Amino acid sequence: MPSADIVIAALVNGLLTGGVYALIALGLTLIYGVLHIVNFAHGSLLMVAMYGAWILSAWMDPYVALPLMAAVMFVVGWALYAGVIGRIGRGDDRTILLATLGVAVVLDNLALVVFTGDTRTIETPYSFDMIELGPLLLSTPRVISFGVAMLLACALWAFMALTDTGRAIRAVAKEKEGARLVGIRPARIFALSYGIGIACLGAAACLLLPTFYVSPQVGNVFVLVSFTVVVLGGMGSFPGAVLGGLIIGVTESLGGLFLGESLGQIGISLVFIAVLLFRPAGLFGARA
Amino acid sequence: MTLRVTRRAALAGAAVLAAPIVARAQAAPVKIGLIHPVTGALAFSGQQCRLGGQTAIGDINGAGGIKGLGGAKIEAVLGDAQGRPEIAASLVDQMAEGGVSGFTGCFASALGLAATQAAAKYNIPFSIDSGIADSLTTRGLGNVFRFFPNNSSVTTDAMTALKDINTKAGSPAKTAVLVHEDSEFGTSTAKLLADKLPPIGITVLALIPHATPTRDFSNIVLRIKSEKPDLVLISNYQNEYVLLARTLVQQRVELVGTYSVSGGGFNLKFAKEAPTVAEDMMDFNHWYNPRDPRGPAFRKRIEDGGGVFTWEVPFGYFAVRFLADAMDRAGSTDKEKVIAALADSTFSDHFMPYGPTKMVNGQNTGAHAVALQIQKGDMQVIWPEQFASAPAVFPRPKI
């Protein structure tokens, strides 16, 4: 039986990891909520963003690069939707789904060609800084990434709730035809939402880089967990994505502690099944 | 992602491979087949082996070809095994049809096992470069030779090295925790090491398995911390190796040292990209002899040429030179004569940290791996004494 100190440390570490899951899942849930498609390219675009941040790290700190990377990824997301996914999809959900899958395959293999299968890491002056909190040793960059992820989640929520653009996005998500009647152009809102969803990945990439590695497969490490988070929280729900991310982070961490790191992953699936059994639409999902 | 190759494309590729290149040398060129996984999951290591092999061929041809064959030049016949044993075997068939006089390859043991078996049908000599499985040379195939160490010699030597390093420092390491990835490779390696540690005076406190990929090593490191071991032994793949090493430093785990056998992420790139984490980490692995000036010179040459230096490069290099040396002494490309020359080989024109070359059933019993430590962002050989480039930092300084 692990000591109380270790359990508390595992709990806090789980929360910190969950913050980043939440940020990645926010983008995914936004795209689902508006476009009603599961973005299979999410992991690959995270990988692209991480390579972007990795390249930029030669000139600037990943945290300084965060706004830039988010902006760049917004443009990438917008262009990808307007130029490729939307065009191929022609409004048919299934085709859009396949288009995102195609984008993922192309990006993954392009990365293999350009960057080879190597694993890359960076070292920043604060990579190994720790915050001492009683018996806890918390990695400073992970505390920062948690804080920034939560701030961004709040900012995104405020944007959706308080601005006209946010209202337009919500209008399109709810009732596309009705939105069109009041002068909103759904195609533009789709590209905008996809862009914002991908911009979240730009931010997540910069937050991950000081403590994680980059490789062409790095997206797969996060994307399955994010899918779980989104379904758990309720497809399309922001508070659901945040809470779901934190729950999955803590479950994974405690599961690893009590069941061993191999078997511990089962905890995620157990929580997932329990939520689906008792709240089929997810924690915050609208009931059908 | 694996590349799909249609039958037609494979045939076209085979035709290209088999097409003779018009040579203007006085003696007919000698074809050597180089079979490596240069695409797919093993691409990086396969390319490194191929780079070594091609460098060797360039050197031999530049120095006037194989003397014993009247200055015959070597012609490389390149094959991509794509990480798939059946393709490695079919490449052997294609190249044998194309008239190769010998093979080198195949980086991974699984590919080597298939390719050497295929080559045995034609009795064409096969010089293994990397491919550590003992069975490559213990199956009784008369055409297969390995100049480099096999798995049992590496694990046995690894424990001797750890014992020597520990004893010399006054035995500061008495306990160990083994962290391993939970598939066949990591589990069997960890079990093997766990059995061999108590005889050298080190108690195993725990074996901690983890999945591949693992996103966060905090819990594992907390467990390690609670066990308070002197040593952490690691057997996993590159990404998890790097993450675990990072988290150990972050959580300020006080250790006498870390040790791995052929550690997944232990290389010069790791040393340069993550100097704080990599500092003083130890691994038992292949390297050149740093005391032989040709070793560092070779590394510099690869690096100056824009390549990345890893141990696979000299392996690919000497697999070819070892084979060419036998052809030179045989004075012929006759298979039987070359095989006899390989079996009698005392090949010494190399810069590996090996004893005298002596072939027993196709295995060079003089070949050994060395203990390495990353010190100040560079790789140092710390064991055995006769090849060491620096003394071991053991126990490592407190954080």
Instruction: Give me the interface pTM, i.e. the ipTM.
Output: 0.76
Residue segments in chain B with a per-residue pLDDT below the cut of 50: 1-3, 13-25
Q: Specify the pLDDT at position B240.
A: 87
Considering the domain boundaries, does residue A133 fall inside one? no
Kindly determine whether residue A13 and residue B265, on different chains, have CB atoms separated by under 8 Å: no
Has domain B7-149+293-364 been given CATH number 3.20.20.450?
no
Adjacent-strand bridge partners of B36:
B80
Q: A117-126, A267-276, B33-42, B335-344: which has the minimum mean pLDDT?
A: A117-126
Q: Considering CB atoms only, which of A119, A212, A265 is closest to B211? A: A265
A97 falls in which pLDDT band (50, 70, 90)?
confident
Q: Specify the pLDDT at position A121.
A: 84
| Domains contained in chain A, number | 1
A71 falls in which pLDDT band (50, 70, 90)?
very high
Q: Specify the pLDDT at position A90.
A: 76
Enumerate the residues of chain B whose CB falls inside 8 A of the CB of residue A43. none
Interface check B234 vs A, CB under 8 A: no
Residue A251 has pLDDT above 70, yes or no: yes
Residue in A with minimal Cα distance to B211: A262
Kindly determine whether residue B249 and residue A128, on different chains, have CB atoms separated by under 8 Å: yes
Adjacent-strand bridge partners of B66:
B72
Q: Specify the pLDDT at position A257.
A: 84
Contacts of A154 (CB under 8 A, 6+ apart): none
Considering the domain boundaries, does residue A237 fall inside one? no
Residue in B with minimal Cα distance to A137: B251
Q: Specify the pLDDT at position B22.
A: 43
> Which residue ranges does chain B devote to CATH 3.40.50.2300?
7-149+293-364, 152-285+370-387
Interface check B210 vs A, CB under 8 A: yes
Q: Specify the pLDDT at position B286.
A: 95
Mean pLDDT of chain A: 89
Interface check B239 vs A, CB under 8 A: yes
CA B323, B381, B238, B256 torsion-angle sign: positive
In one-letter notation, the amino acid at residue A9 is: A
Kindly determine whether residue B246 and residue A211, on different chains, have CB atoms separated by under 8 Å: yes
What DSSP string describes chain A? ---HHHHHHHHHHHHHHHHHHHHHHHHHHHHHHHH-S--TTHHHHHHHHHHHHHHHTTTS-HHHHHHHHHHHHHHHHHHHIIIIIHHHHTT-HHHHHHHHHHHHHHHHHHHHHHH-S--B----TTTT-EEEETTEEEEHHHHHHHHHHHHHHHHHHHHHHHSHHHHHHHHHHH-HHHHHHTT--HHHHHHHHHHHHHHHHHHHHHHHTTTS-B-TTHHHHHHHHHHHHHHHH-TT-HHHHHHHHHHHHHHHHHHHHHH-HHHHTHHHHHHHHHHHHH-TT-SSPPP-
Considering the domain boundaries, does residue A212 fall inside one? yes
Considering the domain boundaries, does residue A142 fall inside one? no
Q: Output DSSP code: residue B128.
A: E
Chain B nearest CA to A193, separation (Å): 28
Enumerate the residues of chain B whose CB falls inside 8 A of the CB of residue A219. none
Kindly report the CATH class assigned to B152-285+370-387: alpha beta
Interface check A121 vs B, CB under 8 A: yes
Considering the domain boundaries, does residue A139 fall inside one? no
Are B236 and B128 within 8 A, CB to CB?
no
Enumerate the residues of chain A whose CB falls inside 8 A of the CB of residue B275. 123
Quick one: how far is CA B347 from the chain centroid? 19
Kindly determine whether residue A116 and residue B44, on different chains, have CB atoms separated by under 8 Å: yes
Mean pLDDT of A63-89: 93
Considering the domain boundaries, does residue A229 fall inside one? no
Interface check A135 vs B, CB under 8 A: no
Give the residue numbers spanning the domain of A80: 4-125+148-224
Q: Which of A12, A24, A47, A262 would best serve as a mutation to test chain B binding (most B beta carbons within 10 A)?
A: A262
Residue in A with minimal Cα distance to B216: A17
DSSP, collapsed to helix, strand or coil, labels residue B235 as strand
Closest CA to B130 of B110, B108, B151, B145: B108
Contacts of B93 (CB under 8 A, 6+ apart): B118
Considering the domain boundaries, does residue A256 fall inside one? no
Q: Which of A121, A217, A269 would best serve as a mutation to test chain B binding (most B beta carbons within 10 A)?
A: A121
Interface check A212 vs B, CB under 8 A: yes
The structure's pTM equals: 0.80
Q: Specify the pLDDT at position A1.
A: 64
Mean pLDDT of A102-112: 91
Mean pLDDT of A93-120: 87
Q: Specify the pLDDT at position B354.
A: 96
Residue in B with minimal Cα distance to A222: B215
Interface check A253 vs B, CB under 8 A: yes
Residue in A with minimal Cα distance to B250: A128
Mean pLDDT of A50-78: 95
Tokens read off for A247: 């729950």
Considering the domain boundaries, does residue A84 fall inside one? yes
Chain B nearest CA to A182, separation (Å): 46
Kindly determine whether residue B265 and residue A119, on different chains, have CB atoms separated by under 8 Å: yes
Interface check A221 vs B, CB under 8 A: yes
